[in-house]
């Protein structure tokens, strides 16, 4: 069974977003997503200082099986990327909500996070997809 | 209607991740596709391939029928021999690729799951007098890897199996065992009555054979440079542009197989070839990506990450003169790749750089 941590916000396209204490937003793909993709072998991350818009493509995750776009959950500027995924993309499979994070944003409007799905609503999206 | 093989419950009890494949509920992996891949290259793995279609062709005209529909010549087969070949349409495109086993009283064709309906329809349209064909409700377990034959011989309690030559088969009661496979490793394929398949599967599991899903089946066959129907082979493309020209039996000249005149006209003159690509840059080559070479453009027919090489590889249909360096368009970015001769891996050894 996949995990659905309640302290995160979600996109229906299977990204998670966490508002950190310093006001930044950390982004990754969900446990459900890594499970569906299978072994992750390559992650294409955005550039630092790159401006991203909510709902737009900000990276790509490739498993053995397929390539999948990663979308920005909120509008903002990229302030950090998880370079460790370059050598160890399998971290996405092993710890999707922790060491497998993709990038951090400085959000233009932190209020945008409120528009995202909560854990319960996201879990429903996943269950519908599975049927 | 979604179909299940006789081994479906085994996959579920092994936590196989079940996906739809050509109308069948099949395991794509049992946890890690990459670990399953390595198990086949280094030890032994087993695949449920019961979704493939088994068709027995019988009667006095069975051979004449196969000599008409197949581009390879089944007259070459002694009893217990196995042959790989293609069914061509009159335009020389590939309807399917298949293996044919010669049994004492029939020819057994194993065709793809995804092509079942059209092959049965094609056989019906080409039917001759004095022959019949019928689909057989059999299970197939492929056991592959350097330890596969020894472990299969133990599971079957059949010591003679280790002497079986490649591309030959033997019968053990109702079981047909071929020294064949789709991974580039040594191994056997066990075609058995459905009701015997669960026990055989469990015996192999108890001997340490790793269950392997369709995901690793694809990366193993790609490393081995073996075609997948629907990607590397199709009805619009000549076998001469698909690396299976060697399966066309041109002799005897009087054998009038379907598609002969079309492929004969392209012989030695086809402008394209199917070849290999390797990419050391990060990223994954995929079906449909455009390849730019000094000799013109081509396209990737199958691509994936190669667990054995640790980078991406592909089969690509390119202009015949293409060689050396090339570029692949991956989501609008051009990445450097190299044209190489498949197979990429065989018997556990890397053959390309």
Give the ipTM: 0.85
Show which of residues 59-98 on chain B sit within 8 Å of chain A, judged by CB atoms: none
Whole-number pLDDT of residue A130: 75
CA-nearest residue to A85 within chain B is: B282
Mutate to test the interface with A, among B219, B283, B289, B302 (most CBs of A within 10 A): B283
Omega prior to B252 cis, within 30 of 0: yes
A vs B, Cβ pairs < 8 A, gives: 37
Cα-flanking dihedrals φ and ψ of residue B156, to 5°?
-90, -5
What does the pLDDT look like over A93-126, one tens digit per residue? Answer: 999 999 999 999 999 999 999 999 999 999 999 9
> Alpha-carbon torsion B350, B213, B244, B231, what sign?
negative
Task: Tell whether B245 is within 8 A of chain A (Cβ).
Answer: no
CA-nearest residue to A61 within chain B is: B283
Identify whether the C-beta of residue A64 lies closer than 8 Å to the C-beta of residue A34.
no
Residue A1 pLDDT > 70, yes or no? no
What is the distance of C-alpha B255 from the center of its chain? 26
Element (H, E) at B133: strand B132-136
Task: Tell whether A57 is within 8 A of chain B (Cβ).
Answer: no
Cα-flanking dihedrals φ and ψ of residue B233, to 5°?
-130, 140
Task: Tell whether A124 is within 8 A of chain B (Cβ).
Answer: no
What is the distance of C-alpha A58 from the center of its chain? 10
Distance from the Cα of A60 to chain B's closest Cα (Å) equals 10
- Chain B residues with CB inside 8 Å of A60's CB? 331
Q: Which residues of chain B have pLDDT under 70?
A: none
For the record, the structure tokens of A15 come out as 């990204």
Identify whether the C-beta of residue B68 lies closer than 8 Å to the C-beta of residue B258.
yes
**Strands B210-211, B45-48: pairing kind:** parallel
Whole-number pLDDT of residue A131: 67
Please enumerate in sequence order all residues whose Cβ is within 8 A of that of B96, keeping only pairs 6 or more positions apart, or say none.
B86, B87, B111, B112, B115, B118, B119, B229
What does the pLDDT look like over A24-80, one tens digit per residue? Answer: 999 999 999 999 999 999 999 999 999 999 999 999 999 998 899 999 999 999 999
Whole-number pLDDT of residue A129: 83
For the record, the structure tokens of A33 come out as 């997503």
């Amino acid at each position: 069974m996949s995990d659905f941590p309640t302290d995160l916000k979600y996109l229906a396209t299977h990204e998670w977003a966490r508002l950190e204490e310093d006001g930044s937003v950390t982004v990754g793909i969900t446990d459900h997503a890594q499970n569906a993709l299978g072994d992750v072998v390559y992650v294409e991350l955005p550039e630092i200082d790159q401006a991203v818009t909510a709902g737009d493509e900000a990276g790509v995750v490739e498993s053995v099986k397929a390539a999948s776009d990663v979308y920005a959950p909120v509008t903002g500027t990229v302030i950090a990327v998880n370079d460790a995924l370059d050598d160890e993309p399998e971290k996405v499979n092993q710890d999707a909500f922790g060491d497998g994070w993709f990038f951090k944003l400085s959000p233009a409007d932190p209020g945008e996070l409120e528009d995202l799905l909560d854990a319960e609503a996201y879990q429903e999206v996943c269950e519908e997809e599975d049927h | 209607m979604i179909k299940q093989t006789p081994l479906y419950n085994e996959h579920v009890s092994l936590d196989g991740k079940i996906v739809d494949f050509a109308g069948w509920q099949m395991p794509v992996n049992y946890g890690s596709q990459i670990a399953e891949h390595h198990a086949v290259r280094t030890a032994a793995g087993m695949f449920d391939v019961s979704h493939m279609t088994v068709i027995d062709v019988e009667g006095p005209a069975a051979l004449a029928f196969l000599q008409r529909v197949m581009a390879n010549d089944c007259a070459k087969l002694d009893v217990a021999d196995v042959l790989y070949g293609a069914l061509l349409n009159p335009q020389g495109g590939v309807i399917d690729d298949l293996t044919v086993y010669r049994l004492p009283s029939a020819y057994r064709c194993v065709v793809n799951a995804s092509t079942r309906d059209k092959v049965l329809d094609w056989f019906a349209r080409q039917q001759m007098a004095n022959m019949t064909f019928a689909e057989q409700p059999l299970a197939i377990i492929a056991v592959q890897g350097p330890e596969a034959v020894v472990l299969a011989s133990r599971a079957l309690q059949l010591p003679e199996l280790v002497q079986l030559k490649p591309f030959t088969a033997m019968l053990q009661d109702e079981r047909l065992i071929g020294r064949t496979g789709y991974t580039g490793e040594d191994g056997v394929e066990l075609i058995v009555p459905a009701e015997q398949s669960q026990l055989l599967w469990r015996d192999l599991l108890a001997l340490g054979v790793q269950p392997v899903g369709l995901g690793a089946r694809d990366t193993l066959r790609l490393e081995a440079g073996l075609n997948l129907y629907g990607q590397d082979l199709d009805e619009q493309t000549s076998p001469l542009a698909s690396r299976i020209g060697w399966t066309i039996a041109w002799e005897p000249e009087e054998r009038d197989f379907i598609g002969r005149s079309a492929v004969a006209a392209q012989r030695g003159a086809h402008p394209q070839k199917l070849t290999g690509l390797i990419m050391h840059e990060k990223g994954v080559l995929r079906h449909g990506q455009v390849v730019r070479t000094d000799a013109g453009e081509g396209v990737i027919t199958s691509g994936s990450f190669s667990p054995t090489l640790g980078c991406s590889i592909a089969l690509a249909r390119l202009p015949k003169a293409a060689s050396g360096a090339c570029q692949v368009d991956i989501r609008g970015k051009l990445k450097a790749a190299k044209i190489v001769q498949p197979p990429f891996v065989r018997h556990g050894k890397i053959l390309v750089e």
